[in-house]
Amino acid sequence: MKAGPSISVRNLTKDFRIGLKGLKLRAVDDLSLSIPRGQVFGLLGPNGCGKSTTLKIILGLVTATSGEIAILGLPSATPAARARTGFLPEAPYFHKFLSGRELVRYCAHLSGVPSNRVEAAVDEALALVAMAEASERLVGTYSKGMLQRIGLAQAIVHDPELVILDEPTAGVDPVGAAAIGRIIEAMRVRGKTVVLCSHLLGQVEQVCDRVAIMDKGRLVLEGAVEEVLERRDRHVLTVADLTPAALAAAETALAAHGARLGSVTHPRRSLEELFRELVTGSRDA
């Protein structure tokens, strides 16, 4: 039996009341999304587009105005659903007086790891994020990159099926960002579903299997990375086979000039180009 999606969002809407008059600010507008299992899914959008709100609603930290959300087949706002989910918030902050190991141990207990398995789970998580050596130091002495990695460790210590990472590389140098990218890849290899929010589009393009782009609370685009990045309105002609008749004429013309058509493919643009095309036009104005 085929397993359902890891996250299923149907007609999600979230309004915030602001000011004394109770005016509504619509942060998420009728969003429907399905994130399959075992993939790395990128959730993109400019600041204020509603992606963090969507993540918070998925995790039960914020209540939806309307709509349904399920995590791994369970209603999202339940402890049972969160038991199989790991979360790293944007710019994480942890208690500075704890060591890295103590922090991860604390989170392991809260996440329901059996007591007799806690130490092994902590060692495993620290090894995965390459923080074993620094685990006895206080969290207050960590650099930004180390904080992100220890944050990853606390998110995965209980071996969740779904991991949600909100800006895991924000403020991290390229070396640290690359390290985090490798960790995400390692999680995918282990069969976990990873939902990644990031502004580092180059990294998202490399790491993610599917992406969704949000703008002004709405889903603008969603699909496999390869598919969405293809430019279907244009063709790249490689002189080889170009069928049918329109191609034949070109071929004839090219042959007349002594050239051979090798292949016909669709041109590719970068994710950044696509992103700018879709959402940044009005902002630049």
Positions in the binding site for another protein (CB under 8 A): 56, 59-63, 79-80, 82-83, 85, 87-89, 91-95, 97-98, 106-107, 109-112, 151, 154
262 DSSP 8-state letter: B
Residue 128 CB, nearest approach to another protein (Å): 18
By the 10 Å C-beta count (0-12 exposed, 13-18 middle, 19+ buried), 218 is classed as middle
Residue 78 CB, nearest approach to another protein (Å): 8
* Complex with another protein: residue 27 or 49, whichever CB lies closer: 27
Residue 110 CB, nearest approach to another protein (Å): 5
Residue 96 CB, nearest approach to another protein (Å): 10
* Complex with another protein: residue 155 or 271, whichever CB lies closer: 155
* Complex with another protein: residue 42 or 89, whichever CB lies closer: 89
Whole-number Å distance between alpha carbons of 100 and 136: 6
The dihedral formed by the CA atoms of 32, 191, 202 and 53, expressed in degrees to the nearest 10: 40
Residue 82 CB, nearest approach to another protein (Å): 5
* Complex with another protein: residue 112 or 262, whichever CB lies closer: 112
* Complex with another protein: residue 213 or 217, whichever CB lies closer: 217
Residue 88 CB, nearest approach to another protein (Å): 8
By the 10 Å C-beta count (0-12 exposed, 13-18 middle, 19+ buried), 136 is classed as exposed
Q: What number of CA atoms fall less than 13 Å from residue 68's CA on the CB side?
A: 7
Query: What phi and psi values does residue 187 have, to the nearest 5 degrees?
Result: -70, -35
Retrieve residue 58's tokens. 């998925």
* Complex with another protein: residue 161 or 205, whichever CB lies closer: 161
Quick check: bond before 244 cis, omega within 30?
yes
Whole-number Å distance between alpha carbons of 85 and 158: 9
